[in-house]
Amino acid sequence: MKPESSAWKQLEEHAAARLRVSFASRVLRAARPADAQVWSELEEQAAARLQAGFADRVLHAVRTAIPAEIPSFFSQFALSAATVAVCMAAVVYLHDRTTRIEDERSLADWQRLAADAQDFDLSP
């Protein structure tokens, strides 16, 4: 197994071999601070390490790795129908639960009222 520093160095060399010379210049020009001398030296060093075609190869690799398929109308409709079904099931479940709890509360109140009425009826 390679040490981490060796892996980073290999990755750096691999990336540097694939970048265009103008790539570093454009990036550094976009972020140029007040001290232009330092940035120009960095541009020169970066330009010396970058090869032409890197950006194009990266974009091509990304485009081939990620399929650019647009979902079909049927798949969009199926997803929408499934979402509607799940939402309706949740609404029906919550309505049933709320109704059952309310019925139990009402029944308990009526039982308490009936017991009070019986106690009142039996008292002399």
Query: Within this chain, do residues 6 and 54 fall inside the same structural domain, yes or no?
Result: yes
End-to-end CA distance of the chain: 97
Domain that holds residue 15: 1-68
Mean pLDDT of all residues in 55-71: 76
Q: What is the number of structural domains in the chain?
A: 2
Query: Within this chain, do residues 84 and 32 fall inside the same structural domain, yes or no?
Result: no
So what's the pLDDT on residue 87? 96
Neighbours of 43 (CB within 10 A): 19
Closest CA to 25 of 39, 4, 14: 39
So what's the pLDDT on residue 83? 96
Q: pLDDT tens, 41-55?
A: 877 787 677 677 776
> Which of these three, 29, 50, 68, is where a domain ends?
68
Q: pTM above 0.95?
A: no
Q: Tokens 């106690």, residue?
A: 119
Q: pLDDT tens, 75-111?
A: 899 999 999 999 999 999 999 999 999 999 999 999 9
Handedness of CA 78, 83, 89, 92 (dihedral sign): negative
Q: pLDDT tens, 10-43?
A: 777 777 777 776 776 677 666 655 567 777 787 7
